[in-house]
């Protein structure tokens, strides 16, 4: 019986042993044609709720994107369920290196327009005509080739705390913004260079690689399973690790440590630091990098102004907040002008 896509029985055993009675944190995605996402959503929810699965799952006509945790002892049951869904049979499950009991606290399955907010019109190109998947060993080989352009398909706040050595890291807030920028930068090299890309778990590259092929790039490669899977392979196969710093992840852990070095700075004092926090002022909630000393000095806030607001009684804060959404600042993640050391 095939249990994990690419793990041997031995590797799998080691993984479950390591997790013990705990939970496995994993992610997967698939592009598919789903006729009735609401029905599919309910099907997933009923089954997974019963299996004590927790996580955040997006379902759309174009497919599924799931980040979740499963009790280690129910993993087989979970895998059998997945394999009974035709477009998920044998799907690669990205399993996190660090298993955290609290990576997710609820099961949320949501129907969305898209599984990734990419702003791309699907009808303009074929998502299935994607770049060549490469594993960690092949990826290392490719990125040492001087004829390769390596592109980080993530956002600036993700690549700031960790990225591959030598990667182009577009200064963008969203995936959608990065596509035309990269295309413009590389337009002279559509045929002669290798375009190699990576992201957190592989899903963004799945579409981006198809997009670039559609735009005329000839040699497009993508890191299969993203940084999460790369880290796992580097560990298991004792490969050279070319990723510097931390991998930003979208659960409460915020980041997975991959190499020891800290490549970013506290946005308030400039000291080496790679810990993301949200400003304690609920009305601000800005995502930024803050060292423990600054956190203490600033009462976990991003600015003097937020400190003052945060010190007010809750009812008064609520009054101030009325009618003002905080979504703008959340979206601006780390770009606020109040941050002195934000490069
Ligand atoms: Zn600091
Ligand atoms: Zn703030």
Tens of pLDDT, residues 266-303: 999 999 999 999 999 988 889 899 999 999 999 999 99
CA of 311 to the centre of ligand 2 (A): 12
Question: Half-sphere exposure of 338 toward its Cβ, with a 13 Å CA cutoff?
Answer: 19
Nearest C-alpha neighbor of 227 from the set 169, 179, 270, 292? 169
CA of 307 to the centre of ligand 2 (A): 8
Nearest C-alpha neighbor of 246 from the set 273, 225, 266? 273
For residues 157-194, one letter each, b for 16 or more C-beta atoms within 10 angstroms of the residue's C-beta and e for the rest, the string is: bbbbbbbbeebbbbebeebeebbeebbeebeeebeebb
* Start-to-end Cα distance in the chain: 51
Mean pLDDT in residue range 228-257:
87
Instruction: Please say if 291 is a catalytic residue.
Output: no
Residue in 199, 205, 273, 291 annotated catalytic: 199
CA of 294 to the centre of ligand 1 (A): 4
User: Which tens digits make up the pLDDT trace of 171-227?
Assistant: 777 777 788 888 888 888 889 999 999 998 888 898 889 989 998 999 999 999 899
Yes or no: say if 92 and 79 are a contact pair by the CB < 8 Å rule: no
Taken as a whole, the chain contains a residue count of 343
CA of 303 to the centre of ligand 1 (A): 12
Nearest C-alpha neighbor of 225 from the set 137, 87, 88, 93? 93
**Which segment of 11-15, 196-200, 234-238 scores lowest on mean pLDDT?**
11-15
Confidence of residue 330 (pLDDT cuts 50, 70, 90): very low
How far apart (Å, rounded) are the C-alpha atoms in residues 174 and 9?
39
Give the three-state DSSP class for 21: coil
Closest ligand by atom to 289 CA: 1
Closest ligand by atom to 265 CA: 1
The reported pLDDT for the residue numbered 160 is: 92
CA of 283 to the centre of ligand 2 (A): 8
Task: Put the strands of the sheet holding 23-31 in their side by side order.
Answer: 94-95, 23-31, 63-71, 54-60, 107-111
To the question of pTM greater than 0.85 for the whole model, the response is no
CA of 281 to the centre of ligand 2 (A): 6
Closest ligand by atom to 305 CA: 2
Can you tell me which residue has the tokens 């997006």?
58
The reported pLDDT for the residue numbered 5 is: 40
Most trustworthy range by pLDDT among 36-45, 169-178, 204-213, 242-251: 36-45
**Which segment of 195-199, 247-251, 255-259, 325-329 scores lowest on mean pLDDT?**
325-329
Closest ligand by atom to 299 CA: 2
CA of 247 to the centre of ligand 2 (A): 24
Closest ligand by atom to 264 CA: 1
Yes or no: say if 339 and 304 are a contact pair by the CB < 8 Å rule: no
CA of 342 to the centre of ligand 1 (A): 11
How far apart (Å, rounded) are the C-alpha atoms in residues 107 and 53?
7
Mean pLDDT in residue range 119-128:
72
């Amino acid at each position: 019986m095939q249990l994990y896509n690419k793990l041997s029985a031995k590797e799998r055993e080691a993984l479950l042993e390591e997790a013990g009675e705990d939970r496995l944190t994993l992610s997967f995605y698939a592009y598919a044609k789903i006729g009735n996402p609401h029905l599919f959503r309910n099907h997933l929810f009923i089954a997974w709720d019963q299996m004590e699965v927790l996580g955040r799952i997006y379902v759309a006509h174009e497919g599924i994107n799931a980040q979740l945790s499963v009790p280690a002892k129910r993993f087989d049951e979970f895998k059998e369920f997945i394999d009974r869904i035709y477009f998920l049979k044998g799907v690669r499950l990205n399993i996190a290196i660090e298993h955290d009991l609290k990576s997710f606290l609820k099961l949320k399955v949501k129907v969305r327009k898209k599984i990734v907010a990419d702003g791309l019109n699907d009808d303009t190109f074929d998502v299935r005509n994607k770049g060549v998947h490469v594993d960690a060993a092949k990826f290392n080989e490719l990125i040492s080739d001087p004829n390769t352009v390596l592109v980080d398909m993530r956002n600036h706040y993700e690549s700031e705390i960790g990225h591959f050595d030598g990667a182009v890291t577009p200064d963008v807030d969203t995936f959608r913004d990065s596509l035309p920028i990269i295309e413009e930068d590389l337009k002279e090299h559509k045929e002669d260079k290798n375009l190699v890309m990576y992201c957190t778990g592989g899903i963004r590259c799945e579409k981006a690689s198809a997009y670039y092929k559609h735009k005329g790039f000839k040699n497009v490669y993508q890191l299969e399973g993203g940084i999460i899977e790369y880290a796992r392979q580097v560990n298991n196969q004792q490969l050279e690790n070319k990723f510097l710093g931390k991998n930003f992840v979208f659960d409460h852990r915020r980041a997975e440590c991959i190499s020891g070095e800290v490549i970013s700075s506290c946005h308030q004092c400039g000291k080496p630091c790679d810990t993301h926090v949200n400003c304690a002022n609920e009305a601000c909630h800005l995502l930024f990098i803050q060292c423990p000393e600054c956190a203490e000095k600033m009462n976990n806030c991003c600015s003097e102004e937020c400190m003052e607001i945060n010190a007010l009684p809750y009812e008064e804060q609520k009054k101030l907040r009325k009618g003002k959404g905080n979504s703008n600042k959340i979206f601006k993640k780390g770009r606020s002008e109040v941050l002195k050391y934000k490069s």
